[in-house]
Structure formats: C-alpha cells, structure tokens
Amino acid sequence: MQPILDVENLVKEFPFKGDKKNGVPRAIDDISFQVFEGEALGLVGESGSGKSTTARCILHLLKPTSGKVSFQGSNVLEMNKNELKSFRKDAQIVFQDPYSSLDPRMKVGDIIGEGIEIHDPKISKQELRNEVIEMMELVGLRPDHFNRYPRAFSGGERQRIGIARALAVKPKLLICDEPVASLDVSIQAQILNLLQKMKEELGLTILFIAHDLATVRHLCTRIAVMESGKIREIGDRSQIYENPQHPYTQSLIAIVPEPDPISERARLVERKLSKLKEQP
Amino acid sequence: MIGNKIESKVAPTHAGGPLLEVKNLKVSFETVNGRVLAVNDLNFSVQTGQRIGIVGESGSGKSVAAQALMGILRGADISGEIIFRGTNLLELEEDHYRKLRGWDISYVFQDPLSALDPIRTIGDQVSQVLRLRNVKAAEAKKKTLEILDRVGIKDPQRRYNDYPHQFSGGMRQRAMIAMALIGEPSLVIADEPTTSLDVRVQAQVIDLFNKLTEEQGTAVIFITHDLSIMAGFAEDVHVMYAGNIVESAKTDEIYYRSIHPYTLGLLGSIPRIRGPVLKSLTAIKGKPPAPTDIPPGCPFHPRCTYASSECAELKPTLQIPKSGNHLSACHHSELLSQKNGSR
C-alpha cells in the first residue's frame, strides 16, 4: 500500500549564536515514518519532544534542515508555489489553542469559508454560504452562528470552528496538534468523538499529536512515540499499549493517571518507595 | 514551628471543630448583563490535615469559591460564613486577613508564569513570605534554600538567584509550591496546580503535595477539572456544576458508586489507557452553562440523559437518597443509587 505521507530522515535544527561546542540543537533528529490512507496515526511525546515541530515541517510552515517529506508521492519541500497551494488544500491542520488560532475580527462564516474561496475563487456567494453551513452542521455548530465572532464561543465550540475551517477545503490529511489539550473534560470527549466520526464518514487520514497516550488510544490505530526529537517506538495500537518495547514508551504508559482511586493510591505508594530506594 | 517565633497563627480559640467550615457561601458579581451568581450556596468543611478534592469544569465556580476563601476577590458580593479556626473570615479586617494569607492559608495558582514576578529572583520571591513576617534575611534565606531543596529543585544555592524565565514549567510550579508551604500553613488551596503541565510532571507535583502535606499535616483543597489526577490523592471529593456542589462523598464512593449523572458523565468522558478500546467515549452533550445563563430547575438538565419534566422545573437539593449513602443533588439519585450505589 502506498503511504499518503512519507517522512524520510527529517531533521530540524535551530541554530543559535555562541558556543557550539555541543553542536547545534536538533528539535527533530532524523525521523522517518509513514501515514497510510484512511488511518489515524498518533504522534505522542512530552513538551519539547519535537512533535509540533514535526507537524510544522510536514506542512512546510517551517523549513526542515534536511530530509524529505512526500505527499502522495511528490516531495513537499521541492514544490513550486502552485503545487504548494494545492498541497495546502489537501493537508490541513487544527491547532492546539482555539483562542489564538482564530482571527478575532473575522466572522465564523468567513473563517470557515475563506479557504473554500481561495481554492475556488469563482464560487457564488450562495454556494459558498451553503458549503459553509454544511460544514458547520457537520461539526455540530448551529447555522445561525454564521455571523458571530469567535469571542462569542467557548473553547470547545472554537475548536469545532477550527475543525470546520480545516475540513471545509476537503483535505485528504488532517493534522491535529493537541486539539483537545486546552478543553474541559466533557468537551474533550465530544471533540475526540467528532474526529472519529469525520474519519469514518469522510475517509479522512489523521495525524493526531498528543502529549499523553490515553488521549489517542480510542482514535488511533497506530502510534509513534517521540522523545528528544527521535521516534523511540512506532507500532500498532495493540503492540504499543499491551507490549511496549521501548523503556520510554513503558514509562509514558505507567505515568498516565486513571480515574480509579484504588490503583492510583497504589501507584502513589509505588512511586514513593522507588524514590526512597534511589536516595542513598 | 517557626510560626510561633514570629506571631501566633490567627485565632487561638479553635478547639476540636473543623479547621475550615464553609456555610451557605454565595458569591455574586454585578456585570453589564445584570447580577451573576457564580457560587450558589456552598457548604463543606475541611478537617486538620484532610485532603479535599473539588472537581468542576469552566464556569463551575470552583476558582471563584477558592478565591473567596482567600479573600482575594475584588468587586464581588460575598455572603454566608467562612469559618477558619473558629473565626469568620468574612468579618475579618483586611489587616488581619493579610497576616493570615500566604501564612496560615496559602494558595497555589494555576499558571505559575503569570503568578511569579518576572523581574525578581525565585529566592527573593519565596523568601518574601518570611521577610514580611520580620524573619532576619539570613534566616529567611536558609529556610528558603531548605524548602527549595524539599520541593525537588536541584542545586538550590545556584537556583536561588535565577529568574522565573530560567525555570521550566514544572520547576516554576515547584517554586510556587515552595512559596505556599514555606510558612507551614495549616491549609493550602491549590487551584488547578497541574493543568498546564506534562503528565510526568503532573505526577511529580501530586507526589510532592502528598509528601509535604504528610510531613507537615497540612490540609489541602485540591481544585481540578481532571478526575484522574487527584484520584489517588483526595480523601473526599465535591463535584461542582454551575456554582453548586452536585455530589459530595468519600473519594471511592464518587469514583465507583456515583449517583449523579454529571459525575457519571465526567467519568465516561475520560479516555482510559487500560481496559477495552471503546468505539466512542460517552461524552456529555452540550457545554457547561455560562454563569449569566444558568438554566432553570436542575442546572444540568439540558445536558442530562436522565432528565425528566420535573428536572426542568424544580431545582434538586443536595441530599442523601433513601437507599444511598452520600449527598447528591439530583431527582434521580434514588434510582441511580439502586443501580450504582451500595452494592
């Protein structure tokens, strides 16, 4: 099977002035992975692991230092302006912070419709409006929200706007960069369920970035675990959760808290004891 | 205890009773859209050394309630009683309150970056708590180095002179905790202290609270929207929704035998790392109401799967249902306690 996205030996360095004795720090340190059509791949890592930088390099929002990103067989990094424009229609992103990622001076309908218009400048006003309303209904927003500004919406609703905006141009690949991290628990579940539904109904391919392994478990069938710019382990859901090979993956699984007081108390005691053992 | 050397910790009259007793607490604000009731009739108590969890989502009133306890709410109408060691804090003069605040009751803020002063060193800010109480500079520094070490900041001698921007998020939260605990308070209110942190650091912060409160016998009110993070820490849990406590019980009762649809919904919303992989999570529909727009009757009824006509009209009171054994504000608690309760 041909991958829809193929990342090969991707490196991103952030050079700085001054002492380079220890080399230039690498946010992404030679990673390779593939995303196949119709699947949801989870990319999991803690802050500073390089997961968001990876997303930005894939979409060419950042220029990687070296490596190759292929989308449906063509190298994203060598695309000309027109190719890049059509790539950006096919690959969309939902950002983490639904507050800073929506233009506060644009109406919701315009935010969602902007992409449609850019890629289809001849579209009639009525058609555009119909498409936008269709998108709004798809993600669970009311059509009468069309003329409101983002400030009138809660975090979860803003994230729905962000998802509608991304899906409006009918992308093949949707990159979600921690889309639920800043939301209330009851709303997180709504957004995760919405993405699951979009995946099934639209045949969407999803690259879902998260900082913990619990969030991606129900949505993603394959998981990649990142640490210090490297992919430590990549595998099927069953392997990652039931038989993790890399010690880092194991520690990341062990650390996720669960709403289960008896096991949480046991883990609290366990951590306390292992800490006591460490001390001389 | 260093406290005794400087000045006695508030009212000496406290004997036997709970450390803190909140009675009929109501907090409202005057806004352009009229009067908003952010906290509606809150009742709970905290015993010496007890760990209380308060769970709620945005707009539930949990932070407003906490800030009311600290006396740091400006422009709010507060009624009811907040009895701390036998003294009603709402009747306390600002001078006395100031002596208490940060000293016998302290507060850990959610966002350590905005709670710390960016242009003063960590050591300066942590030791200030002591210096304000006339502890000599050298003694204050010694105590500060000790507490920085105890909260797990490595090489405190060097870190003492660092500025907040030189600390990572987890380290800043440790510094905030150091600041809250240096006066050896009898009550710490922690308002979402783990929310902006990585899971690993969250666990470290919980461990730290666990260790320090065990050592010092400090009572903790731990406020969060995350039922997982405090499952192993809290002894009693109060669930808040739209300014009210809707369920209140021992931790295990809440997690294993909840009799309130909102709590059950919250528990179902959490993605689990163990157990069967679910097709979808059992999300709660809709969103929490804004304090300006609380529905009549039971405030949860528009989102509730159990809602009946009664729920839209009559607000349920917080009470123990006949076949239940803990407090719940729901017309269907009786039904739920037969289903989920005392098994």
User: Strand, helix or coil at A74?
Assistant: strand
Q: Which among B255, B269, B277 has the least Cβ separation from residue A260?
A: B255
C-alpha–C-alpha distance, residues A51 and A208, integer Å: 10
C-alpha–C-alpha distance, residues A5 and B255, integer Å: 42
Distance from CA of A70 to the nearest CA of B (A): 31
Residues from chain A contacting residue B172 (CB–CB below 8 Å): none
DSSP state of B16: S
DSSP state of A61: S
Distance from CA of A192 to the nearest CA of B (A): 8
Query: How far is C-alpha B127 from the geometric centre of its chain's CA atoms?
Result: 24
C-alpha–C-alpha distance, residues B222 and B82, integer Å: 17
Q: Which among B233, B252, B280 has the least Cβ separation from residue A193?
A: B280
A218 contacts B278? CB cut-off 8 A: yes
User: Strand, helix or coil at A209?
Assistant: strand
Cβ atoms of B183 and B106 within 8 Å: the answer is: yes
A253 contacts B273? CB cut-off 8 A: yes
What is the tens place of the pLDDT at every residue in B154-210? 899 999 999 999 998 888 988 999 999 899 999 999 998 888 778 888 888 899 888
Confidence label for B97 from pLDDT (cuts 50, 70 and 90): confident
The more confidently predicted of residues A142 and B33 is A142
Distance from CA of A175 to the nearest CA of B (A): 20
Q: Which among A156, A192, A212 has the least Cβ separation from residue B281?
A: A192
Distance from CA of A85 to the nearest CA of B (A): 35
Could you please report the per-residue DSSP string of B59-124? TSSHHHHHHHHHT---SEEEEEEEEETTEEGGGS-HHHHHHHBTTTEEEE-S-HHHHS-TTS-HHH
Confidence label for B14 from pLDDT (cuts 50, 70 and 90): low
Cβ atoms of A29 and A13 within 8 Å: the answer is: no
ipTM of the modeled complex: 0.85
Report strand pairing: A222-227 vs A230-236: antiparallel
Could you please report the per-residue DSSP string of A133-147? HHHHHHTT--GGGTT
Residues from chain B contacting residue A253 (CB–CB below 8 Å): 273
Residues from chain A contacting residue B198 (CB–CB below 8 Å): 46-47, 211
Residues from chain A contacting residue B210 (CB–CB below 8 Å): 268, 272
Numbered residues of chain A with Cβ closer than 8 Å to any chain B Cβ: 46-47, 154-157, 184-190, 192-193, 196, 211-215, 217-218, 237, 241, 251-253, 255-268, 271-272, 275
A46 contacts B198? CB cut-off 8 A: yes
Distance from CA of B232 to the nearest CA of A (A): 4
Phi, psi of B147 (to 5 degrees): -70, -35
Residues from chain A contacting residue B273 (CB–CB below 8 Å): 213-214, 217, 241, 253, 256, 258
Total CB pairs under 8 A between chain A and B? 135
A184 contacts B281? CB cut-off 8 A: no
Q: Which among A189, A258, A271 has the least Cβ separation from residue B273?
A: A258
* Number of other CB atoms surrounding residue B11 within 10 Å: 15
Confidence label for B341 from pLDDT (cuts 50, 70 and 90): low
List the beta bridge partners of residue A5: A35, A71
What is the tens place of the pLDDT at every residue in B286-328? 888 888 889 999 999 999 999 999 999 999 999 999 988 999 9
A256 contacts B232? CB cut-off 8 A: no
Statement: residue B13 has pLDDT above 50: no
Numbered residues of chain B with Cβ closer than 8 Å to any chain A Cβ: 57-58, 169, 198-200, 202-203, 206-207, 210-211, 225-229, 231-233, 251-252, 255-256, 265-274, 277-285, 287-288
Q: Sheet harboring B87-88: ordered strands across?
A: B34-46, B20-31, B76-84, B87-88
Distance from CA of A223 to the nearest CA of B (A): 13
Q: What is the pTM of this model?
A: 0.88
Nearest chain B residue to A221 by CA distance is B277
Q: Which among A156, A190, A261 has the least Cβ separation from residue B252?
A: A261
Q: pLDDT 10s digit of each residue in chain A, 280 long?
A: 789 999 999 999 988 777 667 778 889 999 999 999 999 999 999 888 999 999 999 999 999 999 999 999 999 999 999 999 999 999 999 998 888 899 999 999 999 999 999 999 999 999 999 999 999 988 888 888 999 999 988 888 899 999 999 999 999 999 999 988 878 888 889 989 999 998 999 899 999 999 889 999 989 999 999 999 999 999 999 999 999 999 999 999 988 999 999 999 999 998 888 888 876 6
* pLDDT at res. B151: 87
What is the tens place of the pLDDT at every residue in B98-157? 888 888 999 998 888 788 999 999 999 999 999 988 899 999 999 999 999 988 888 999
CA-CA distances (angstroms) from residue B224 to A101, A219, B228, B336? Answer: 25, 25, 10, 25
Nearest chain B residue to A237 by CA distance is B277
Q: Which among B200, B265, B268 has the least Cβ separation from residue A255?
A: B200
What is the tens place of the pLDDT at every residue in B255-264? 999 999 999 9
Cβ atoms of B247 and B258 within 8 Å: the answer is: yes
C-alpha–C-alpha distance, residues B41 and B39, integer Å: 7
Query: How far is C-alpha B35 from the geometric centre of its chain's CA atoms?
Result: 25
Instruction: Give me the count of residues in chain B.
Output: 343
Nearest chain B residue to A264 by CA distance is B232
